[in-house]
Structure 1
């Protein structure tokens, strides 16, 4: 019985009186034959016709029983002794050996075994078992023996709604590996898809017997892995649903966020409409873009994030108002500003680390939150890191090493560790096309997959190669979401056309040995040590620049003190005057003015004027006459 279930018992005497039924023969209606009508009856020649009284069906469904096979063997420590013979008792073994030797077939069997043994001994004598014969073979011969990784399509699930909607969430049931939740959203991926939807005829849904039906196109479903024809449970909503996730500790409850900013709960046992929802005044201002269940005693608490920059903490028992609300402000202060806040795209929580949760923003930053913080500055005190240029798509911890994350966004996939504060990117993977999703394998510690906009599903194994995928599975549509089943045997892939592909993993991709775990742990420790050394080097360079700046200021101040001279000394006074630039400018201006005055004084003007008695004088008359 779940913690949120209550069994109500009632006494038998309160059920009411027992119903008593009896059988009797009673004539309800009788029609006597009419001879007048019989004369009008016309006999018809016999004709053979075929009829089908049952309902005609276009398809039939048969579910075969799964047969379980088991392999048993026997460990021959000393021959094949029967179980009733104790091999440690010498008398019992001797008694059984004599019994076998008295049989007639024993001699023929010994002769046959001697011949086979002799052939094997002769082969060993002909070959030197201590010599390596194939050590000098070229590597090209071994390449033909190598087997490539592969993945096989097990099933495909189509969207019952027309036109098909892209998928935003795939979530496997925590306690039932045959069920998974699929959320289709009515929001188009791009502008071209929106135009195509406007040209599409009137939308319709496929009717399922005994199921609810909605013409809004906001339904989402729970599918059975073995039945792709119709979903097990379908849920309805009057608004567009953006995110939904199972409660990891109680799979009967599903939390989701709507496009209007509201937060709702659905019952996974009954399906249908939502059970409860928060009021509009307590909802987010924009669409709810992230949902994350957290650890609590009642298993009813979860976080939600929105593109308006707010993160709210809810209790499913009381949806009237959130328990706590913070803004994703990169500036650590209690007086947060909504204009500076980043939009929330991803929320991540690990049950083994109940104090911390990770937030991804639409600006490419990672925020580390503390659940014990009472104020916004205490909640986001761990800081934030800018590691992407675009919005962050997915954040997922490694199931074996929970301190290491796989983060996807824009054209990159990065492995990040909490311990690397300054440079959180330990491993980097780039692609030509935008990466939409990424997830770790639940069974192999070094394996993860990424899906991009071109439809390429890449399998990356950090132990085999860090720069190229070990295997690529191509689809005809963009990959929006991918999720491994908890046992790691199957991988669910969501496509942009509304299809869900179930891939069965190769046996080599489903197992992880202790040696692999030790190697990947050493790799993570080596990368973290490298990041710490780089952080230390950066801090050293910053400290050196800071000390150089301080030393420069000190030397300039000391030089300034050394340059102070005695004005009483004529030579030092002259040096003070020559070093003063303002005084130089004033002195030069004064010298220019003095020079102009002296020059003006030195210039002479000669003026020739005649007197009155020289007015009638003619210079030519002064010459003597001949």
Structure 2
């Protein structure tokens, strides 16, 4: 049997093409015969000799019978679940797993079966004969300086530059990013402005991989974690739309204007469900709406953000939903508060279960720690704070920055690392195991114009970081191993740190509560009295005097500092 294999190669891979042409012969040099040299030559009988520049090779072929392998899998659902648990219901299975994992017999059973499984695995192990067993191993703690380098910058290709308001990583391998572009300043949108948003290939910053064309500029945009071909976006006019990248640039479906939000949709989150088609959105109109992409004509549920239950609606700015907690979700508001909500509450008034008084201004970022789900991060005003669910006040926070904070997120690979973006165009990396009073690394993302950072998102593997800016640019940064690889015992140390700070805050809260009770007991009727009339006017007058006095003292100190600087400059000039 003759074996033939055809090698194919593109013409451009051969290199520069060699071109031959006909040319007449020309004499370049002429050596005339010298009869005196004839005596040095001996005439020889004519002979033929063949030479080969390459060694001789022999060819030997062996044909073996081909064998086809087939892989088949078995999906085991029914046998391992009790009769009262529906294996197709995600909530039932998660609840049953948590119940079993708390049982003491579960740990013993796993250990017993683990020994048998380990014995079977070791039978198929390969031994590295070059491995050095007794080498003096150093500590695996990474001691290098934290660094971050810029890989690519993706700029808005339109002449009218818009803010890159949101970025979402491709869920499988992080080879693409979806960026939403819009102008968020009220009534600052220029006429005939392009409405497109784009999906970029990480390796190609010159041209978008796909264009998304909505009916209104996109404020937020998010990939479906179950199906990476599907994206959902929130528009400036309050609509929500979803795209299927296999079906082109235009949205497959959009919500009806009369059933949608009345303000821009600032955040969307996918919900854990059997179909993988459900999500919910929040807007500054004070509503959180649940949607199903199979029917976007109207929302499936809605929640009015009325924390005081008195009709005063609060605008929402950001959402957080954890798939392992299908009934819980959190909403950050314009007032700086964070609302803990329960989707399964019987009455709408009971859906907001707890309120955390977070920041002085709007909450721009809200995310649970991927390793410790009871702790979450909030970013707003000039600081970032870490909270525990069962504590009313924050347990840790960063120092107040000179510039306003705009966004933040946890590292998916290191439990103690998070990132914050600021209005001055810088991005801070915080590592709370090593430093709490200042950031571990500060990166100037926008080198030219110091444009404010608007959105910060980390890739699933923790190595790449995407930061969008108000000038329409999106920068991909690669961080060093110190910020992306988990350190020895880091999880245990940070867990102990969170528990210690939570206990401290609980102790302070109980102490303050006892003091308030004692003060109320000493003045039993003073709780219902409020300053009125002349007493209120006197209090206002006293507070105004204190305020102006503080301003005068501050101004006097500044004048003294300026005088000292002037004297010092004069002395230097004289020398």
TM-score (norm 1): 0.59
Rounded to whole Å, the distance in 2 between the matches of 1:452 and 1:464 is 22
Q: Does 1:394 align with 2:371?
A: no
Match of 2:517?
A: 543
Matched, 1:414 2:385: yes
Q: 1:169-191: CA deviations, max 9, x gaps?
A: 11111113211111111334x89
d(CA) in 2 for partners of 1:279 and 1:166? Answer: 26
Structure 2 counterpart SS, 1:383: strand
- 1:216 is displaced (CA, Å) by 4.5
Deviations 1:275-313 (A, max 9, x none): 111212211122222211111111111111111111111
Q: Deviation of residue 245 (structure 1)?
A: 1.0
3-state DSSP class of the match of 2:472? coil
Aligned equivalent of 1:162: 159
Match runs of 1:189-228 below 5 Å: 194=188, 216-228=193-205
Q: How far is the alpha carbon of 1:542 from its aligned partner? A: 2.5
User: What CA RMSD, in Å, does the superposition of the two structures yield over aligned residues?
Assistant: 2.4
- Decide whether aligned partners of structure 1 residues 541 and 272 sit closer, same or farther in structure 2, where only a CA change above 3 A counts: same
Alpha-carbon distance between aligned partners in 1 of 2:296 and 2:146, rounded to the nearest angstrom: 48
Q: Is the 8 A contact 1:418 1:424 kept in 2?
A: no
- Distance in 2 (CA, whole Å) between partners of 1:73 and 1:402 is 43
Looking at structure 2, the residues matched to 388 and 154 of structure 1 have their Cα atoms a distance apart, in angstroms, of 34
Q: Which residue of 2 aligns with 1:513?
A: 487
* 1:241 counterpart = 2:211: no
Other-structure match for 1:75: 131
Show the counterpart of 1:446. Answer: 416
CA 1:294 to 1:466, structure 2 compared with 1: closer, same or farther past 3 Å? same
Indicate yes or no: 2:320 matched with 1:348: yes
Using the TM superposition, give the Cα deviation of residue 392 of structure 1 relative to its aligned residue in structure 2, in angstroms: 0.8
Deviation for aligned residue 1:271 = 3.5
Match in the other structure for 1:293: 270
Corresponding residue SS for 1:430: coil
Number of aligned positions between the proteins: 389
> Do 1:301 and 1:314's aligned partners in 2 also have CA atoms closer than 8 Å?
yes
Distance verdict in 2 for CA 1:220–1:548, change over 3 Å: same
1:433 paired residue number: 403
| Aligned match of 1:304 | 281
Instruction: Select which of 376, 383, 386 maps to 2:348.
Output: 376
Q: Which residue is 1:278 aligned to?
A: 255
Q: Which residue of 2 is the match for residue 404 of structure 1?
A: 375
Q: 1:367 aligns with which of 339, 343, 347?
A: 339
Does structure 1 conserve the Cα–Cα contact (< 8 Å) formed by 2:520 and 2:526? no
Cα distance in 2 for residues equivalent to 1:244 and 1:77: 51
Which whole-Å CA distance do the structure 1 matches of 2:155 and 2:501 have between them? Answer: 42
- Against the structure 1 CA distance between its residues 77 and 275, is the aligned structure 2 distance closer, same or farther, given a 3 Å change threshold? closer
1:495-514 alignment, distance < 5 Å? 495-514=469-488
What is the aligned counterpart of 1:316 among 269, 293, 305? 293
Higher relative CO (Cα under 8 Å, sequence separation at least 6) belongs to 2
Give the structure 2 partner of residue 619 of structure 1: none
- Asked whether 1:257 is paired with 2:238, we answer no
Name the structure 1 match of 2:123: none
**1:524 is aligned to 2:498:** yes
Q: Is the 8 A contact 2:160 2:193 kept in 1?
A: no
> How much has 1:550 moved relative to structure 2?
4.8
Partner Cα separation in structure 1 for residue 295 and residue 184 of structure 2: 29
Instruction: Kindly name which structure, 1 or 2, has the bigger radius of gyration based on alpha carbons.
Output: 1
- Label 1:239 to 1:303 Cα distance change in 2 as closer, same or farther (>3 A): same
Contact 1:186/1:218 (CA < 8 Å) preserved in 2? no
Consecutive unaligned residues in structure 1, runs of 5 or more: 1-71, 80-145, 203-214, 554-626
Residues 564-609 of structure 1 show CA distances to partners (whole Å, capped at 9, x for unaligned) of xxxxxxxxxxxxxxxxxxxxxxxxxxxxxxxxxxxxxxxxxxxxxx
Deviations 1:91-123 (A, max 9, x none): xxxxxxxxxxxxxxxxxxxxxxxxxxxxxxxxx
The CA deviation at 1:252 is: 2.2
Q: C-alpha separation between the residues in 1 aligned to 2:361 and 2:132?
A: 63
Q: Secondary structure at the match of 2:489?
A: helix
SS at match of 1:161: coil
| Counterpart contact for 1:216–1:238, Cα < 8 Å | no
Instruction: Please tell me whether the aligned partners of residues 165 and 469 of structure 2 are also in contact (alpha carbons under 8 angstroms).
Output: no
Picking from 145, 148, 154, the partner of 1:148 is 145
TM superposition shift of 1:548 = 3.1
Inter-partner Cα distance in structure 2 for 1:540 and 1:301: 46
Residue 303 (structure 2) pairs with residue 329 (structure 1): no
Residue 333 of structure 2 contacts residue 363 of structure 2 at CA under 8 Å; is this kept in 1? yes
Q: Deviations over 1:385-434 (max 9, x none)?
A: 222111111111222112221111111111112121x3235334310110
Q: Which residues in structure 2 correspond to 1:451-466 (within 5 Å)?
A: 451-466=421-436
**1:436-457 deviation line (CA, Å, top 9, x unaligned):** 1111111122111111111111
- Displacement after TM superposition at 1:363 (Å): 0.8
Q: Could you say what secondary structure the match of 1:481 adopts?
A: strand
Matched, 1:171 2:168: yes
- The structure-2 alpha-carbon separation of the partners of 1:175 and 1:147, relative to structure 1 and needing over 3 Å to count, comes to closer
Whole-angstrom distance in 2 between the partners of 1:323 and 1:148: 50
CA distance in 2 between partners of 1:232 and 1:438 (Å): 27
Q: Is 2:441 the counterpart of 1:467? A: no
> TM-score when scaled to structure 2?
0.64
**Per the alignment, in what secondary structure is the counterpart of residue 530 of structure 1?**
helix
Contact kept, 8 Å, 1:398 with 1:440, in 2: the verdict is yes
The residue that corresponds to 1:490 in the other structure is 464
Give, in whole Å, the separation in 1 of the partners of 2:144 and 2:236: 47
1: CA distance, partners of 2:246 / 2:515:
60
In structure 2, distance between residues paired with 1:487 and 1:359: 26
